[in-house]
Amino acid sequence: MKKPAPRRRPAPETGDDGPPVPFLDLSRSWPSLEKEVLEGIAAVFRDSDFILGARVAALEAEIASLCGAPHAVACASGTDALLLALQALGVGRGDEVVTTPFTFFATAGAVWNRGARPVFADIDLATFNIDPRAAAAAMTPRTRALLPVHLFGRCADMEPLLAAAGGRVAVIEDMAQAVGAEYRGLRAGSMGDAGALSFFPTKNLGGAGDGGMVVTARRDLEGILRQARHHGMSAPHRHRFVGTNSRLDGIQAAVLRAKLPRLEGWTAARAANAARYGRLLAGMSSVRLPAPVPPGEGRHVWNQYTILCDRRDALREHLARRGIGTAVYYPVPLHLQRCFEGLGYREGAFPRAERACREVLSLPVHPDLRRDEQERTAEAVREFYRE
Ligand SMILES: Cc1ncc(COP(=O)(O)O)c(C=O)c1O
């Protein structure tokens, strides 16, 4: 008997523009990962190695080595990594932490949740990172830590920040978006007192759920972090301080370890995509491309490829009509978030961060982006501005 013909899936709405260009499509890397990831997960079940355990310890060693920091302590998210780092460094009530208003909310949220006060300093529009001079100017006798963010995968200008901290004030690198990034020969996470990583699935090294890690060169911090993530327990049922439950599980570690050997290749693909946008969008007057990292100054790992552009929202709609996915990171600066009203900042306080929020647009740059998709994206940008 003849087999019934397989039911054809209806073709996606393409119009004249071809199939959609997703902003990010994690499913594309799945076929090449499936075998290792599923074997890794099966082994976790076989060994009943569910929380922390051997795989998490191995991942900690691997990430420590990747970041050039001798110690790494895994936890449940990037947000917790920030919280734990702040706690281990003694940041709490009455303290101020200088950070950027142009970042994901978690950066300042963690400071707030420690009972400390986020103090914002404006950014450098060329890099989207905190301006070291503004950071130094925002410091007061109550400043307990500086919290620069290596935004979009580019390291903050760490040398003047470390100089401003002068060893008296702690420096925490929010490197949620910047695993493997470099600054003047040093890896992200190896420059400050601690670095906080996120393994959120969209990050350059993303898990199958939430996850995070603190890396540090300070042995004294490592011990505190290990206790802090486990209710402050120093020996079975002995607590010298109050910590929390923030542990990474074996399944996440198995997934991340299966992906880790590919990170270098993915980062290179991101960098190649960024360089291609540089060529495809060169010479446009309505669009400002990300400033290149000068030779010898470091390595951008391109978690996002973010442009500044005129009429951003209209451009975004135009691209959406062509089926091209984009994102706005971030539409509202943190000093103007409702929850921080009590901090007393007004519109105009940080003009460069506010301008970034009005003008930024992130284009697809993920490692599985195809050349034709990128060409269509760039063409659609040019078409919008008729440039
Ligand atoms: C700059 C920055 N900091 C902190 C976080 C928080 O990480 P998570 O989502 O893993 O809690 C993120 C990511 O979402 C981030 O992008």
**Going by DSSP bridges, is the β-strand pair 182-183/298-299 parallel, antiparallel, or unpaired?**
antiparallel
pTM of the predicted model as reported, rounded to 2 decimal places: 0.95
Rounded-to-integer distance, Cα 305 and Cα 32, Å: 25
Which residue spans within 100-217 are E strands per DSSP? 117-120, 143-147, 170-174, 182-183, 186-187, 194-198, 212-216
**Going by DSSP bridges, is the β-strand pair 143-147/96-99 parallel, antiparallel, or unpaired?**
parallel
CATH fold, domain 30-260, is: Aspartate Aminotransferase; domain 2 (3.40.640)
Q: Does the Cβ of 79 fall within 6 Å of ligand 1? A: yes
Judge whether 142 and 94 are in contact, CB under 8 Å: yes
Question: Both tokens of residue 145?
Answer: 């830590």
Q: Does the Cβ of 207 fall within 6 Å of ligand 1? A: no
At 18, is the pLDDT very low, low, confident or very high (cuts 50, 70, 90)? confident
Residue 112 predicted with pLDDT over 50 = yes
Mean pLDDT of 179-203: 98
Write out the DSSP string of 316-360. HHHHHHTTB--B-S-SS-GGGSGGGGGG---TTSSHHHHHHHHHE
Helix (H) or strand (E) holding 308: strand 305-309
Q: Cα 303–76–130 angle (5° rounding)?
A: 40
At 110, is the pLDDT very low, low, confident or very high (cuts 50, 70, 90)? very high
Q: Does the Cβ of 153 fall within 6 Å of ligand 1? A: no
Judge whether 93 and 323 are in contact, CB under 8 Å: no
Q: Which residues contact 84 (CB under 8 A, 6 or more apart)?
A: 73, 75, 214, 225, 228, 229, 244, 246
Which atom of ligand 1 lies at the shortest distance from residue 79's CA?
Answer: 11
Q: Which residues contact 48 (CB under 8 A, 6 or more apart)?
A: none
Mean pLDDT of 103-124: 98
Q: Does the Cβ of 59 fall within 6 Å of ligand 1? A: no
Rounded-to-integer distance, Cα 72 and Cα 195, Å: 9
Report DSSP state, residue 237.
Answer: T
At 15, is the pLDDT very low, low, confident or very high (cuts 50, 70, 90)? low
Mean pLDDT of 268-289: 98
Rounded-to-integer distance, Cα 246 and Cα 243, Å: 9
211-247: per-residue pLDDT in tens?
999 999 999 999 999 999 999 999 999 999 999 999 9
Residue 130 predicted with pLDDT over 60 = yes
- 73 in helix, strand or coil? strand
The mean pLDDT value of the chain amounts to 95
Residue 175 Cα to ligand 1 middle (Å): 9
| The residue type at 92 | G
pLDDT of the residue at 17: 76
**Going by DSSP bridges, is the β-strand pair 143-147/170-174 parallel, antiparallel, or unpaired?**
parallel
Which residue's C-alpha comes closest to atom 8 of ligand 1?
78
Torsion of CA 275, 276, 279, 280, to 10 degrees: -140
Residue 249 Cα to ligand 1 middle (Å): 18
Q: Does the Cβ of 200 fall within 6 Å of ligand 1? A: yes
Residue 344 Cα to ligand 1 middle (Å): 25
Residue 104 predicted with pLDDT over 80 = yes
At 1, is the pLDDT very low, low, confident or very high (cuts 50, 70, 90)? very low
Question: Both tokens of residue 68?
Answer: 């050039």
Tell whether domain 261-385 is in CATH 3.90.1150.10. Answer: yes
Residue 309 predicted with pLDDT over 90 = yes
Q: Which residues contact 93 (CB under 8 A, 6 or more apart)?
A: 115, 116
Mean pLDDT of 135-161: 98
Q: Which residues contact 85 (CB under 8 A, 6 or more apart)?
A: 172, 193, 194, 195, 196, 214, 216, 221, 225
313-348: per-residue pLDDT in tens?
999 999 999 999 999 999 999 999 999 999 999 999
Q: How far is CA 257 from CA 36, 41, 62, 198, in A?
A: 9, 11, 9, 14
At 3, is the pLDDT very low, low, confident or very high (cuts 50, 70, 90)? very low
At 16, is the pLDDT very low, low, confident or very high (cuts 50, 70, 90)? low
Rounded-to-integer distance, Cα 109 and Cα 87, Å: 14
Residue 10 predicted with pLDDT over 90 = no
Residue 7 predicted with pLDDT over 90 = no
238-259: per-residue pLDDT in tens?
999 999 999 999 999 999 999 9
Torsion of CA 59, 61, 66, 72, to 10 degrees: 90
Substitution site in 177, 213, 256 for ligand 1 pocket (most atoms within 8 Å of beta carbon): 177
Residue 212 Cα to ligand 1 middle (Å): 9
Substitution site in 100, 198, 256 for ligand 1 pocket (most atoms within 8 Å of beta carbon): 198
pLDDT of the residue at 11: 40
Residue 6 predicted with pLDDT over 70 = no
Domain coordinates in residue numbering, the chain: 30-260, 261-385
pLDDT of the residue at 103: 98
User: Could you tell me the end-to-end alpha-carbon distance of the chain, in angstroms, rounded to an integer?
Assistant: 60
Q: Does the Cβ of 273 fall within 6 Å of ligand 1? A: no
- 249 in helix, strand or coil? strand
Q: Does the Cβ of 104 fall within 6 Å of ligand 1? A: yes
Q: Which residues contact 377 (CB under 8 A, 6 or more apart)?
A: 21, 319, 324, 363, 364
pLDDT of the residue at 317: 98
Rounded-to-integer distance, Cα 116 and Cα 89, Å: 12
